[in-house]
Chain A
Amino acid sequence: MQKLGDFKLPHFFNYPPYFTLQPVRDTREKQVQLWKELILDYCRTQKIFVIGLEEEFPLFSNPVIERTLSHEAREAFLSALVSEGRAEWLDKGHRKCLILWHRIQEWADIILNFVKDNGLEDSVMTVEEIRSGTESRGTELSGIDRTILMRALKLLEQKGKLAIFKGTSADDEGVKFSI
């Protein structure tokens, strides 16, 4: 079976019509569904948070059968993810797409578990520490996209689980947990 790095590709990745946007409704629905699953799977395992439509993206082309997704097809598949709440466009021109293989609520739960596991219920951490500190090493939070992290933290702030306070620069925004 074909692999992309350490990612195992399904058999149909070598099926040429998989790379052409199908015009017939039923066929296209199935095609879109298969692409959505594959994109989420790939991003989850490869820890990819943002897909740029105009940049090279390994999943969107198959050198073995010499097929590449057209721009229209890329946008169609990502839009399908957006409409399900599993992705968000980062700009109006639909050039960058944020992939939410965990929804924001799920990320918030992960942060809560992380805080509890590390006994940080009443501590203060910078945002950067959550992303790349020693505590988060080996967890899903390690290397998390800043935009996603901030969205999850704000969600928790609304629920009164923590307070975000500004430092002198954007880099040292701090979080005061109060769980």
Chain B
Amino acid sequence: MAAGKFLPPVELTTSGRPVLLPNEIECSLLSSVDLESDELPAFPLLKSGLLILTTHRLIWIPESSSTTTTAASAIPLSAITHIFSPKKSLRSMFASPRFRFQLSVSSDGRGVGSGPGSRSVVVTVVVRGKGDSDAFYGKFWESWRARVWESDVVVSSSSSNSQLVSGSGSGSDSGGLYTSQGTLRMAGVSGILRKEQEMWESTDKSLQDAFQDLNALMSKAKEMVVLAEKMRLKLLSGTNSQTGATADEEMGSKQEMQDWLLSVGIASPVTKETAGALYHQQLSRQLADFVRIPLEKAGGVINLIDVYCVFNRARGTELISPEDLLQACSLWEKFDVPVMLRKFDSGVMVIQNKSHSDEEVFARIKTLVTKPDTLRSGISASDAAMTLGIAPAMAKEHLLTAESKGILCRDISPDGFRFFINLFPEIDPNGVYSVKEYGIYATWIKATSASR
């Protein structure tokens, strides 16, 4: 039986990220996970997939989407009636880590549900990968206990209000960072608070991460070391006083802590923590989904720096470092996504649609430089930027590429750096005074002589 019939299917984006429900927040990830149920023959075969825990669901995605026939599916946390504590036995030390939970299924055993006559079956999660299954289990339990899905009903009933406040339109089904209206969705206050909470729990590790990232900085700036020490002390005292201090105080120092981390340019360790080794992979897929709209607006090519700004703005508090962005982009080669990273000869890096063709840009540039005005005086990068509707830095890259293809040639003078249509191939070296009757050279002569 196909998974989709028993478990609700999950819609995936073009880059293979699950489409999240409104207000749904991703909490943790595990790779190479099997889901199995011995009691229930109808339970689908879910072998070696990526298991994503959100505030609402357990989402299972096949790891190589093209080869398996099993579709991505989800178990609503609301259908889970009990989570068993992991058994600590001698056997568990050698076998793959596993934990079990109880799932309520409809009376006929053909679907998840809690209607009348429903019964419970036990589902086992087998972790075959290297992920931290204990941490995952902890978050799984937390998310289940938090029952965030119940508060959704309240939020959506006052949808006009929630749109104003959080910007997440109720009933939006596009997921990710966009609502169905195409506007940016923010995680909302509850999301931020949850992340803060998680950050608390990972203070030790986040500190280690922070110090690793700081190594390079330390060698250069002594102040950085002092700052890092301060951060460390703050964190340590925070952990010790965690039980005694009031929640407000904790939140305040946490906020301060995060401000510091952000001010020294460290990527939010929480996100790295939730996704672990899968961090860049997931970031890469999310980014591929995200750049679709900025790319459309920018005409198919967008500067990496611009993406960095827009993407971080959309992520709100969980900023990513430039290195993370670069790494996420370079992972695209491995996935089937419609965008690609491109490096120009000058070193400038851009993101462009795979379907974007240079030929089209060259054709537009060619038309631009063969107008009578530009034949006479050439074009600068900013002229091209205005006409082509792209950023000047981008326009310059296009002009330089066109130059290297022999379409344009340059003119450097006190007036600046300008490009002209390349006339050199048109001129006959054996008859420098002869001009072909028809051709761009003749057109150029006509255009220039008209002005003098």
Contacts and interface: CB of A to CB of B under 8 A. Distances in A.
Contacts of B269: none
Interface in B411-442: 411-414, 418, 420, 422-425, 427, 429, 432-433, 435, 441
Given A12-B427, A15-B420, A34-B424, A26 B406 contact: yes
A12 B423 contact: yes
Interface in A56-83: 64, 66-67
Contacts of B425: 26, 30
Nearest to A13: B432
Nearest to B415: A66
A20 interface: yes
Given A37-B429, A37-B432, A38-B432, A15 B423 contact: yes
A31 interface: yes
Contact of B420 (A16, A31, A37): A16
Contacts of A23: 403, 410
Interface string B111-128: 000000000000000000
Interface string B338-352: 000000000000000
Contacts of B445: 11
Contacts of B81: none
B409 A24 contact: yes
A113 interface: no
B448 A14 contact: yes
Contact of A34 (B409, B410, B418, B432): B432
A142 interface: no
A158 interface: no
A160 interface: no
Contacts of A14: 448
A16 B411 contact: yes
A20 B418 CA distance: 11
Interface in B107-157: none
Given A12-B432, A31-B424, A17 B411 contact: yes
A16 B429 contact: no
B424 A30 contact: yes
A118 interface: no
B379 to A, nearest CB: 12
Given A16-B411, A27-B409, A34 B420 contact: no
B378 interface: yes
A3 interface: no
Interface residues of B, number: 26
Choose among A23, A30, A31 the residue with the greatest number of B CB atoms under 10 Å from its CB. A30
Interface residues of A, number: 26
Contacts of B403: 23-24, 27
B423 A20 contact: no
Contacts of B420: 15-17
A66 B412 CA distance: 11
Given A15-B444, A17-B409, A27 B424 contact: yes
Interface string A1-19: 1000000101110111101
Contact of A19 (B411, B423, B433): B411
Contacts of B180: none
A10 B433 contact: yes
Interface centre among A17, A24, A66, A67 (most CB of B within 10 A): A17
A20 B413 contact: yes
A67 B413 contact: yes
Nearest to A66: B413
B406 A24 contact: yes
Contacts of A1: 433
A33 interface: yes
A126 interface: no
B338 to A, nearest CB: 32
Pick from B423, B424, B433, B452 the residue with the most CB of A within 10 Å. Answer: B424
Contacts of A136: none
Nearest to B429: A33
A20 B410 contact: yes
B418 A16 contact: yes
B378 A34 contact: no
B404 interface: yes
A20 B433 contact: no
B412 A20 contact: yes
B411 A20 contact: yes
A32 to B, nearest CB: 10
Nearest to A2: B452
A34 B413 contact: no
A139 B110 CA distance: 111
Given A19-B411, A24-B403, A67-B413, A34 B429 contact: yes
A36 to B, nearest CB: 9
A11 B406 contact: no
B410 A22 contact: yes
A20 B403 CA distance: 13
Nearest to B403: A24
Interface in B232-274: none
A10 B432 CA distance: 6
A45 B433 CA distance: 16
Nearest to A31: B424
B19 to A, nearest CB: 47
A48 B445 CA distance: 29
A64 B448 CA distance: 12
11 contacts: A10-B427, A17-B411, A22-B424, A24-B406, A30-B429, A34-B424, A37-B429, A66-B413, A66-B414, A67-B411, A67-B413
Given A20-B409, A24-B403, 6 more contacts: A15-B420, A24-B409, A27-B422, A30-B424, A33-B429, A34-B432
